[in-house]
């Protein structure tokens, strides 16, 4: 039974990856940091199957102790300060966690378990101000936030450990992926939560920033499969993981409100506070390499993703789904 060590197990991807690896028969050990209240909401259904150990990406000795003790076969570094706006407010913390945290973990693996296979959670935010369409593994990077810059450092340090020490370190350059477990502050989840509450008459408005930003949105459970497959390859390398389709925030709003029979234009208002000092206007990925080498394909398209998220938030709001307006039959022939 192989052992996987996952940092960021309490996050969206960590919970799906833990589920996936447990189903494959892995022993799964997750790293959690000390907080004043338990934040294992996304793991409640797995708590009797995963082992949780305490460590922090800011603390070298805790990481070394965990890797030494667990002796993992595979290490997935999913932990990060992952919210782009917070990285403008807390650029130093973001660098310490998202950039140097990866180095600390790589150092721990190099010292205590150098044969372990290592996955680094890289991001399409590294492309930022894009210079070519669609983006591939060869597209130049131009990050547009402290988060994107920190991820780029982590990406290159993983490449560096691969080249310098012969470690089996791979980075997945993952484009945005969402789910009902997405954090509440990210735009897709803000929309799906608000749509559910508006449909149920609990709210009227949703205040958003840049509606014209375009993203390549996929489904998180699809994306964790790609992480695992990267670590099963004989040779480590980096892969773009994306659907190849791009949609605007406005498109997401339109589809989400339409799913409950509403028009987004009646409910979405502009909130300048949601604008960023610099934004990423357009992302769309080309995952051809992953298709060929990993046999990876996304299974959920944009409209299905929107439906999954809105339906989950309707369920969460604890009410029956409202009946969608049907075409009137008055005056119909027959």
Is residue 251 involved in binding ligand GDR (CB under 6 A)?
no
178 counts as catalytic: no
Of 2 and 209, which CB lies nearer to ligand GDR in the complex structure? Answer: 209
Single out the segment in contact with ligand NDP by CB under 6 A; choices: 10-18, 107-115, 206-214, 279-287: 10-18
Q: Give 322: exposed, middle or buried? Use CB within 10 Å, 0-12, 13-18, 19+.
A: middle
- Scanning residues 184 to 223, which ones bind ligand GDR (CB under 6 A)? 185-188, 190, 208-210, 213, 215
Is residue 174 involved in binding ligand NDP (CB under 6 A)?
yes
Of 180 and 322, which CB lies nearer to ligand NDP in the complex structure? Answer: 180
Using CA atoms, how far residue 118 sits from 57, 78, 110, 234, 241, in Å, is 15, 11, 10, 13, 17
Output the smallest distance, CB 174 to ligand NDP, in A. Answer: 4
Single out the segment in contact with ligand GDR by CB under 6 A; choices: 44-52, 161-169, 258-266, 274-282: 274-282
Is residue 97 involved in binding ligand NDP (CB under 6 A)?
yes
Is residue 203 involved in binding ligand NDP (CB under 6 A)?
no
Distance from the Cα of residue 57 to its chain's centroid: 18
Would you say how long the chain is, in residues?
Answer: 334
Is residue 226 involved in binding ligand NDP (CB under 6 A)?
no
Of 56 and 293, which CB lies nearer to ligand NDP in the complex structure? Answer: 56
Beta-sheet pairing, 51-54 with 27-32: parallel
Output the smallest distance, CB 319 to ligand NDP, in A. Answer: 26
Question: In 3-state terms, what secondary structure has residue 297?
Answer: coil
* Nearest alpha-carbon partner for 147 in 9, 278, 30, 241: 278
Output the smallest distance, CB 52 to ligand NDP, in A. Answer: 11
C-alpha to C-alpha distance for 81 and 90, rounded to whole angstroms? 9
Of 5, 18, 28, 57, the one binding ligand NDP by CB under 6 A? 57
Yes or no: say if 3 and 73 are a contact pair by the CB < 8 Å rule. yes
Of 171, 176, 192, 246, the one binding ligand NDP by CB under 6 A? 176
Token pair 């998202």: residue: 98
Yes or no: say if 201 and 334 are a contact pair by the CB < 8 Å rule. no
Q: Give 256: exposed, middle or buried? Use CB within 10 Å, 0-12, 13-18, 19+.
A: buried
Q: How far apart are the first and last CA of the chain?
A: 66
Is residue 7 involved in binding ligand GDR (CB under 6 A)?
no
Residue 331 is classified by DSSP as T
- Residue 88 CB coordination number (10 Å): 15
Yes or no: say if 214 and 135 are a contact pair by the CB < 8 Å rule. no
What ranges in 167-213 are assigned the alpha helix state H? Answer: 187-199
Single out the segment in contact with ligand NDP by CB under 6 A; choices: 7-15, 285-293, 303-311, 325-333: 7-15
124 counts as catalytic: no
147 counts as catalytic: yes
Is residue 87 involved in binding ligand NDP (CB under 6 A)?
no
Of 276 and 321, which CB lies nearer to ligand GDR in the complex structure? Answer: 276
Contact set with ligand NDP (CB under 6 A): 7-8, 10-14, 31, 33, 35, 39, 56-58, 78-82, 97, 121, 123, 174, 176-177, 183
Catalytic residues, by residue number, are 123, 125, 147
Contact set with ligand GDR (CB under 6 A): 82, 84, 123-125, 175-176, 185-188, 190, 208-210, 213, 215, 249, 274, 276, 279-280
């Amino acid at each position: 039974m192989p052992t996987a060590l996952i940092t960021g197990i309490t996050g969206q991807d960590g919970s799906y990856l833990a589920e996936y690896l447990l189903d494959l028969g892995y022993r799964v050990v997750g790293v959690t940091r000390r907080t004043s209240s338990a934040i294992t909401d996304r793991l409640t259904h797995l708590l009797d199957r995963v082992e949780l150990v305490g460590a922090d990406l800011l603390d070298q000795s805790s990481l070394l102790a965990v890797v030494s003790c667990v002796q993992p076969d595979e290490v997935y570094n999913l932990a990060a300060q992952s919210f782009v706006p917070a990285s403008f407010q807390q650029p130093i913390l973001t660098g310490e966690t998202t950039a140097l945290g990866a180095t600390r973990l790589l150092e721990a693996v190099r010292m205590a378990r150098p044969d372990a296979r290592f996955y680094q959670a890289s991001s399409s935010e590294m492309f930022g101000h894009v210079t070519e369409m669609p983006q591939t593994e060869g597209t130049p990077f131009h990050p547009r936030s402290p988060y994107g810059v920190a991820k780029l450092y982590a990406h290159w340090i993983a490449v560096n450990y691969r080249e310098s020490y012969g470690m089996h370190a791979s980075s997945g350059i993952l484009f945005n992926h969402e789910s009902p477990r997405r954090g509440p502050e990210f735009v897709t989840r803000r929309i799906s939560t608000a749509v559910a509450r508006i449909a149920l008459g609990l709210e009227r408005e949703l205040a958003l920033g840049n509606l014209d930003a375009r993203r390549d949105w996929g489904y998180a459970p699809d994306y964790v499969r790609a992480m695992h497959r990267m670590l099963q390859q004989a040779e480590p390398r980096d892969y773009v993981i994306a659907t190849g389709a791009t949609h605007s925030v406005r498109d997401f709003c339109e589809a989400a409100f339409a799913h409950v029979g509403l028009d987004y234009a009646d409910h979405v208002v502009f909130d300048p506070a949601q604008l960023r000092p610099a934004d990423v206007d357009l992302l769309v990925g080309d995952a051809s390499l992953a298709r060929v080498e990993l046999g990876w394909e996304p299974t959920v398209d944009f409209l299905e993703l929107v439906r999954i998220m809105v339906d989950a938030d309707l369920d969460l709001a604890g009410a029956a789904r409202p009946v969608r307006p049907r075409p009137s039959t008055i005056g119909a022939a027959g």
